Amino acid sequence: MNDFLTFFLLSLFVVMSPGIDTALLTKRTISDGKGDGFKMALGIASGCLVHTVAAAFGLSAILMKSAAAFEIVKYVGAIYLIYLGVTSFVKKKKEADAEMQDGTALKRSAFKQGLFTNVFNPKVAIFFLTFLPQFVTAESQAVGQLVLMGVVYSLLSIGWFFVYVFFINYLRNWLMTPNVQGWMEKATGVVLIGFGLKLAFEKK
């Protein structure tokens, strides 16, 4: 790979930049604690691996060449983000009881939320398809290099997200007060809906 340090630093800046992942992690950690925050981080990183494999074997190219495929994935991702945002405004009265009765389901859903949000975001697919190949040096070993870079990127994501979740969890007692939590839920909901609408109306 050409200048691995450059790839490493650029990837780190991309991972640390606020976005959909940050909003989801903030919301989940505040509402359900660092355990679910860590699980969501693993889900997001797993989504990065899915995009890595897709980019390495050329599957993501379909999204750039086929307008129909791009639109389908784009709208699925957009609808899911808007759904997550809208649920921030809907108070589920039986949520606490459901958590007590089936805590494992909620924990599994944290991983799935992170995974599905990442996988169904075509911008992430295009990012991997256009960013990673810039650091490939030998075409005969392109697949192996792309997979390696994707793994490194995913590990960076996990590391940063774990630090972020750990920090947010420190402030959780204050963030869990009714007034602050209500404000944070609404703010996060607006951000997620905004990302969803932006994704839905974005031109290819």
Domain boundaries, the chain: 19-201
pTM equals 0.69
- Which value, to the nearest 10 degrees, does the dihedral of the CA atoms of residues 125, 126, 129, 135 take? -110
Instruction: List pLDDT tens digits, range 145-161.
Output: 888 888 999 999 999 99
Q: Answer whether 56's CB lies under 8 Å from 173's CB.
A: no
21 CB-near residues (< 8 Å, 6+ apart): 44, 114, 117, 118, 157, 161
Residue 148 CA, distance from chain mean position: 20
> What is the tens place of the pLDDT at every residue in 45-90?
999 999 888 888 876 677 667 777 767 767 776 787 687 778 767 6
Tokens of 167: 């920090």
Burial of 102 (0-12, 13-18, 19+ CB in 10 A): exposed
